């Protein structure tokens, strides 16, 4: 069985700052949505915050990012390109965040306050850790 070819794009490493800025905007939007009680917005901003800060790490340390429609492939890129202590635990958190994307964005169920606060906590921890590594 052959493994799936991961679609990536080479990116100048200095561009990590742009992804970091996007992540910061999603992070602040997530916190604002939480104050307003917009639970789906909390969830989706948490997902996009995590994706953008992961892209910042990938660009900073590997000069590439995933352009695959499946965001889960970014996990493999991170495993291959990030030689950071404790990255395995953080990738588990990133996987849990990504797993909620379709549910939040496309499912007909309402994203609950409980679920929103849980993903906010996970995204916040991932975001803070990644910023420290940048």
**pTM (predicted TM-score):** 0.91
The strand pairing partners of 45, in sequence order, are none
| pLDDT class of 16 with cuts at 50, 70, 90 | very high
Whether residue 63 contacts residue 12, with contact meaning beta carbons closer than 8 Å, is answered with yes
Element of type H or E holding 10:
strand 8-10
Cα–Cα distance between 11 and 1 in angstroms, integer?
30
Residue 119 CA to residue 46 CA, distance in Å, equals 7
pLDDT in tens, 47-98: 999 999 999 999 999 899 988 888 888 888 888 878 887 788 899 999 999 9
Residue 102 has pLDDT above 70, yes or no: yes
Fold of the domain built from segment(s) 13-133? 1.20.120
Burial of 108 (0-12, 13-18, 19+ CB in 10 A): exposed
Report pLDDT for 2: 45
Q: Domains of the chain: which residue ranges? A: 13-133
């Amino acid at each position: 069985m052959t493994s799936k070819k991961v679609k990536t794009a080479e990116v100048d490493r200095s561009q990590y700052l742009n992804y970091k800025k996007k992540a910061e905007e999603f992070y602040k939007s997530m916190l604002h949505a939480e104050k307003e009680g917009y639970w789906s917005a909390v969830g989706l901003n948490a997902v996009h915050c995590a994706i953008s800060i992961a892209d910042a790490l990938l660009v900073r340390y590997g000069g590439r990012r995933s352009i695959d429609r499946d965001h889960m492939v970014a996990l493999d890129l991170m495993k291959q390109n990030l030689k950071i202590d404790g990255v395995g635990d953080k990738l588990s958190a990133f996987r849990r965040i990504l797993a909620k994307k379709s549910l939040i964005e496309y499912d007909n169920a309402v994203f609950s306050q409980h679920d929103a606060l849980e993903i906010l906590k996970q995204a916040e921890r991932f975001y803070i850790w990644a910023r420290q590594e940048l």
